[in-house]
Structure 1
Amino acid sequence: MPKQINITVKESEEELSSLLRKAKSERERGRLKVLILVKQGKVVYQSQLAYKLGFTEKTIREWLKTYNSYGLSELITIKVGGNNTRVISERVIDFIATQLTNPQTTVTSYVELQGLIEATFSETIDYGTLYAHCRRKHKSRLKVSRKSHYKKDPRAEAVFKKP
């Protein structure tokens, strides 16, 4: 049996329509359309609402639950980005920038840069984090650390080497 919608929308249709016109993202528009359709009484079941707007029933259920618990302001606030806590400190970021933009730098690989940061600031930065930061922020193309295969046999390698 489909789940009925049993919430009351406190805001007026005009207020919701004006917010819909000002909405910047498609998600925000969808959330406001849900409230408008519920306010107009055009839908009775969550499944009808989901079908009409092109969202899943679970999404509609979560939106209605958020509206019922926290109100309109929390419903139309789109939270994206996850946990964006900075791993690299500001002084290390500045150091990386000077190292990558300095033409007299001796740094040729990310591993060297990682070692230099550790020696200078006594901070350990994960290789992947450093690589991603340098590529994203500075478009750098230093040497990438490549480990040889752990099962590699040195005797077999000697046989295949060209004289």
Structure 2
Amino acid sequence: MAGVYKLEIAESVEDLKQLLRAQKSASDKERIQLLYLLKSEQAKTVQAAAELLGRHRVTVQEWLRLYRQGGLVGLLTRKPCLGRQHSIPQWAQDALSQRLQQEEGFNSYGEICQWLENQLGIVSPYKTVHQLVHYRLKASPKVARPVSAQQSPEQVETYKKTG
């Protein structure tokens, strides 16, 4: 009969039920639930198990392959997602963060780009530098704001105390 799996599940139905309750993440719970469905014969085929879990048949077959190769440990371990490397290395980000904390700061993001190129030898687009400084380092260039000539220091202090 097509679709019938050939896999011996070592754990008992009760063990799988306890494991199912103990799982913290939804993905681990799904994987244990697959074994439970097959062991308790609620699903006779891989296709039936996939439909009950709301997953594609190929995904379920991949989980069963992991179980076949490494048991429960193999089924529940996943490779960490590394993602893309940052265009500005961590050491340069640390140096920039220290420089941003100094009093003189920068006048603009363009000036930060030039500092990176001149001091650290890193050429990076304006958009990348802006995203790094604004969103990841949670900083901004320190721009001196103009002060009105008509403003008196006494009024400023009064406003600070009452406002």
Quote the Cα distance in structure 2 between the aligned partners of 1:76 and 1:19: 11
What residue in structure 2 maps to residue 40 of structure 1?
Answer: 40
Contact 1:17 1:36 in 2 (8 A): yes
What residue in structure 2 maps to residue 18 of structure 1?
Answer: 18
SS in 1 for 2:133: helix
Q: Which has the higher contact order (CA 8 A, sep 6+)?
A: 1
Deviation at 1:8, TM superposition (A): 0.9
Deviation at 1:66, TM superposition (A): 1.4
What residue in structure 2 maps to residue 116 of structure 1?
Answer: 115
What residue in structure 2 maps to residue 72 of structure 1?
Answer: 72
SS in 1 for 2:59: helix
The amino acid of 1:43's aligned partner reads A
SS in 1 for 2:74: helix
The amino acid of 2:137's aligned partner reads H
Structure 1, unaligned runs of 5 or more: 143-163
Quote the Cα distance in structure 1 between the aligned partners of 2:65 and 2:131: 38
Quote the Cα distance in structure 1 between the aligned partners of 2:44 and 2:75: 20
Number of aligned residues = 141
Deviation at 1:81, TM superposition (A): 2.6
The amino acid of 1:122's aligned partner reads G
Structure 2, unaligned runs of 5 or more: 142-163
Quote the Cα distance in structure 2 between the aligned partners of 1:50 and 1:136: 41
Deviation at 1:10, TM superposition (A): 1.7
Q: Pick closer, same or farther for the CA change 1:49–1:91 going to 2, 3 Å.
A: same
What residue in structure 2 maps to residue 139 of structure 1?
Answer: 138
Quote the Cα distance in structure 2 between the aligned partners of 1:35 and 1:16: 7
TM-score by length of 1: 0.69
Q: Pick closer, same or farther for the CA change 1:57–1:116 going to 2, 3 Å.
A: same
Deviation at 1:131, TM superposition (A): 4.0
What residue in structure 2 maps to residue 159 of structure 1?
Answer: none
What residue in structure 2 maps to residue 149 of structure 1?
Answer: none
The amino acid of 1:89's aligned partner reads P
